[in-house]
Amino acid sequence: MGALGRALLWLQLCAMTRAAYKLWVPNTNFEVTTNWSQNRTPCAGAAVVFPADKMVSVLVREGHSISDMLLPRDGEFVLDSGAGFGAADSGRDPDCGAAAPALFLDPDRFSWHDPRLWRSGGAARGLFSVDAERVPCRHDDVVFPPDASFRVGLGPGVGPVRVRSVWALGQTFTRDEDLAAFLASPAGRLRFHGPGALSVGAEACADPSGCVCGNAEVQPWICAALLRPLGGRCPPAACRDALRPEGQCCDLCGAIVSLTHGPTFDIERYRTRLLRGFLPQYQGLQMAVSKVPRQNAGAEADTEIQVVLAETGPGGTGGAGRLARALLADVAEHGEGLGVLFAAVRESGAPVGDGSAAGLEGSGMRAGLAGGVAAGLLLLLLALLAGALLLRGARSFRWSRRDEAAPAPFVAPLGFSNPVFDVAGSVEPPSAPQVENSSVSRSYFVNPLFAEAEA
């Protein structure tokens, strides 16, 4: 059985054990245009230059005619059948002209912590992962391409990168002793580098309610790698009061549903329920469902299920908020059967540029003092009217268990501002991007243990 066949067999075993797996995407193949300067492979008769102070393994699939080659400090060519190098017999390719030497790009540019360099196995249409979970989690199996050469930087060494298993060069590593011997070998040193450590041996997630990814400690480096092409800064969100889900590097527009679950909750069953029964009814949305640490330190449980509904269309359509409220209604009706004990929702605000507040502010500045006073009075009047309407239109709910007497009425507002949701994440080291999270969102709560609404 070839390396590709063994890789496919390993992926099938992962699926049978319900283990998630991540696939490494980039490679250092000779024929891949993105590995070369000017985004093209060397022309016939060109000079080829590898970084002199680097180590690299390069897979060569074809035959190439070159004029000369500068090799790296340490490395190897893995030659496919019929591949090789020869001296150019008829000068340069006329289509290339008198071009500069073809430069092989820095093979150390690929980082384990870069979410763009991984692909999740078995990802369904409409689903996405928050940034920290796009990088292998501690319960994941990691697969490196069986038909490509590669090189991976293991990061700054703040702690060992720990996963369930690693599949590379036709071998499966599930014990630290075997993996350490491979990493210290010439083949391992050509493919893995940096001060970081790689460790295996974690068990597959056996909890039906899901497992926390475990990348919170390295999230600053994940975000730094993700935002490096953007100068380390998040792009502005296209809505007011944007949200920052747990594990996400930047704010987004949409809604977050937080679920407190009981022992019968099954995250795969719930994800399938949302993917088949709810998400197709709403256009321009993507969904992420995972278990995350609970941010409310006073809560009884230390984890919760986070459902992120992200608006993908320009300006947003409001579909995320509608879907979030539909999920609340579903929890109120079927929460006991789903194993959901409590649900809460946060929504982002209106799209940037929508509404009249910004226009009123701009015209007031142009109109001078008199216009500013008039605009201020108008806004104050509108605020008072809106407050009166909200108070008048506020609804109270009461639910009771069907098999118990109804408790005394408890009136709760439909929404309120919870400062716990606005607390930024853990303190990040200096190398991580510093992005202010100024989310001021609307929150809604529903308890499915109670089933009847007050008339």
- 383-413, pLDDT tens digit by residue? 545 444 333 333 322 222 233 333 333 333 3
The two three-digit tokens of residue 238, written as one number: 């296209």
96 touches 256 (CB < 8 A): no
Average the pLDDT over each of 35-44, 203-212, 433-442 and give the range with the smallest value.
Answer: 433-442
pLDDT tens across 206-217, in order?
Answer: 999 999 999 999
Parallel, antiparallel or unpaired: strands 303-311 and 254-261: antiparallel
Distance (Å, whole) CA 292 – CA 274: 18
The pLDDT-based confidence of 158 (bands split at 50, 70, 90) is confident
- pLDDT higher for 174 or 400? 174
- Beta partners for 257? 307, 345
List the single range of 5-19, 263-277, 371-385, 407-421 with lowest mean pLDDT. Answer: 407-421
pTM: 0.75
Closest CA to 193 of 167, 161, 216: 161
How big is the chain by its Cα radius of gyration, in Å?
A: 28
Dihedral of the alpha carbons of 334, 338, 340, 345, in degrees to the nearest 10 = -60
Task: Report all structural domains of the chain as residue ranges with CATH numbers, in order of start.
Answer: 16-233 (no CATH), 235-350 (3.30.70)
